[in-house]
Every structure is written in structure tokens, then in C-alpha cells.
């Protein structure tokens, strides 16, 4: 076959039956009904029905066309290889991520089992709490953003008096998830322990906003307001507690103290007596102090 570029009225493209290379045929080869592939030297017989007619007047070289076809084929293979490479790399990273999450959850569960058992004890065992803390720390090695591990670690640290470290964990919990009421509650309690009463109030507010029946948050907010001499605010919180849990005598004694500090000794002492009638042991001491 003539491999030089040429023009003809009609040109055709064939595909070698042996190596599958694309070959552009010249007029002589079309007339003979046979051509030799320039890539593999295989002789191919054909009829015009086997050929693809090309645009008239375009210059072609069978060898050049075949070479281009191979280049496109190689590029296609490379694209596929790269695509699979990215897929498997991504899949591998996903599997590692899932495995780490699974290991973290395993340690969180182990820590929770120890932690929950100790929370049911009047006096938690310090060694058991250390074991729970170690499990939560291990969980965080596999998943630094595990909010359960961070939260429980913070609670244990607060119980051990490590308030600043506890605060750091609670800050991270809140950054990761702004909808955990107890994260705000414990952060407020840590601030109280660090004598930061004023800045504890927004956290109590948020804890109550997220859970309006959070009795602990309401009670400690009332205590904080009392400490800041906001007796009306403290009394308002205690009235909320009475609506939610009217059988608790402490709330009535607390309201009594608020009233006494606001200059209403008569009604305040009546509230403390009510708390005494409900069985509050400390009521006698309060009556002796404020209601002689």
C-alpha cells in the first residue's frame, strides 16, 4: 500500500482483522479488494460494505492514522488506570476511616460501661474512674472528634478537679455540636468552680434553652443568680423548679431565703417552715438563723 498522503474523490477507512489498527485505503487498494496492514503486515480482504466512507478531499496517511488510533487507545487506558487508582485510594482511605471509627466506638463503649456503673455508686471508685478515663482517651486517639468520648472525659476530669482541661474538651464538644445541653451545663459548672460566675450564666441559659426541663441547669442557674445577688432571678428559677417538681422541699427554702434577702422576712420564713414540714433537715438551722 502507498503510505504517502494523497487525495482522492472518495476515501475509506478499514480495520485490520489481525491487530485492529485503523487503516486508510488508497484508490488502488480499494480497486483490488485487498490491502496489507502497515502495522502487522497482515493481508486483509474486504468489500466496500466493510469500509467506512471518509470525507472527500481530506488528506490521510494510513500509517499516521493507525498511529493516532494507538495513541488514543493508550490515553484511554491511562485514564481508566488513573480513575481506578483514585477510586481504590479513596476506598482505602474510607476503609481506614471506618476502621478507626469502629475502634473508637469500642473504647467509648468500654469506658461508658465502667463510667455508668460508677455513677450508680454513692462513692465512685477512683481507680475505676481512671480506667474509664483511659478508655475515653484511647477512643480519642482513633477519633479525635468523638463527642461522646470528649464529653465523658470532660465530666470525669471535672470530678477530679481538673477544670481547665475539662473546659477545653467541652469547648471542643460545643464546636463540633452546638445542640448538646449537658455540654453547656458542665461548662457552666466548671466556670463556677473557677469562680467565673458571670460567664457561667450564658451556658446555663443555653442548656435550658435546649432542654427547658433540665432540672440541674435550672437549679444551678438559680444558685448562681443568688450568688450574684439577683434574688428575683433566683426566685423565678426556683418557681420553675416547683412547677416541674413540686415535691422537693429545697426549692421552698431557697425561695424563702430570696424573699428574706429582698426584705420580706415574714413570707420568707413561712416558705422555710413549709420546707421543714416537707422534711428538709436543714430547715431548723435556717429558721434559727433568719426567723428568731
What is the reported pLDDT for 79?
Answer: 54
Mean pLDDT of the chain: 81
Give the least confident one: 4-8, 102-106, 221-225, 230-234: 4-8
What is the reported pLDDT for 77?
Answer: 55
130: pLDDT strictly greater than 50: yes
Among 1-15, 107-121, 161-175, top mean pLDDT goes to 161-175
What is the reported pLDDT for 204?
Answer: 96
Mean local confidence (pLDDT), 77-99 = 53
Q: Which CATH architecture has domain 103-290?
A: Alpha Horseshoe (1.25)
The residues spanned by each domain of the chain are 11-81, 103-290
Better pLDDT: 5 or 278: 278
Mean local confidence (pLDDT), 111-135 = 87
11: pLDDT strictly greater than 60: yes
The whole-angstrom separation of Cα 184 and Cα 178 is: 9
What is the reported pLDDT for 60?
Answer: 36
260-284: pLDDT as tens digits: 999 999 999 999 999 999 999 999 9
4: pLDDT strictly greater than 60: no
167-194: pLDDT as tens digits: 999 999 999 999 999 999 999 999 999 9
Better pLDDT: 3 or 151: 151
pLDDT confidence tier of residue 218, bands split at 50, 70 and 90: very high
Mean local confidence (pLDDT), 26-40 = 70
What is the reported pLDDT for 197?
Answer: 95
46-81: pLDDT as tens digits: 555 555 555 444 333 444 444 545 555 555 655 555
Amino acid at each position: 500500500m502507498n503510505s504517502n498522503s494523497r487525495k482522492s474523490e472518495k476515501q475509506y477507512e478499514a480495520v485490520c482483522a489481525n491487530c485492529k489498527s485503523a487503516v486508510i485505503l488508497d484508490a488502488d487498494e480499494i480497486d483490488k479488494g485487498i490491502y496489507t496492514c502497515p502495522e502487522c503486515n497482515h493481508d486483509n480482504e474486504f468489500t466496500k460494505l466493510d469500509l467506512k466512507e471518509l470525507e472527500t478531499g481530506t488528506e490521510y496517511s494510513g500509517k499516521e492514522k493507525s498511529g493516532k488510533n494507538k495513541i488514543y487507545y493508550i490515553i484511554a487506558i491511562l485514564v481508566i488506570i488513573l480513575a481506578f487508582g483514585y477510586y481504590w485510594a479513596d476506598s482505602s482511605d474510607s476503609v481506614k476511616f471506618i476502621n478507626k471509627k469502629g475502634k473508637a466506638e469500642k473504647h467509648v463503649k468500654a469506658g461508658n460501661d465502667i463510667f455508668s456503673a460508677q455513677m450508680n455508686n454513692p462513692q465512685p471508685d477512683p481507680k475505676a474512674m481512671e480506667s474509664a478515663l483511659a478508655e475515653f482517651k484511647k477512643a480519642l486517639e482513633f477519633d479525635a472528634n468523638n463527642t461522646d468520648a470528649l464529653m465523658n472525659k470532660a465530666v470525669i476530669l471535672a470530678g477530679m478537679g481538673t477544670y481547665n482541661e475539662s473546659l477545653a474538651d467541652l469547648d471542643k464538644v460545643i464546636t463540633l455540636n452546638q445542640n448538646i445541653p449537658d455540654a453547656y451545663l458542665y461548662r457552666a459548672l466548671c466556670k463556677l468552680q473557677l469562680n467565673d460566675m458571670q460567664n457561667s450564666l450564658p451556658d446555663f441559659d443555653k442548656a435550658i434553652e435546649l432542654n427547658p426541663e433540665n432540672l440541674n441547669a435550672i437549679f444551678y442557674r438559680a444558685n448562681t443568680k443568688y450568688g450574684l445577688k439577683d434574688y428575683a432571678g433566683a426566685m423565678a428559677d426556683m418557681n420553675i423548679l416547683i412547677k416541674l417538681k413540686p415535691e422537693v422541699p429545697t426549692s421552698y427554702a431557697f425561695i424563702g431565703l430570696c424573699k428574706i434577702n429582698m426584705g420580706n422576712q415574714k413570707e420568707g420564713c413561712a416558705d422555710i417552715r413549709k420546707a421543714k414540714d416537707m422534711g428538709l433537715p436543714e430547715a431548723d438551722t435556717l429558721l434559727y438563723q433568719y426567723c428568731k
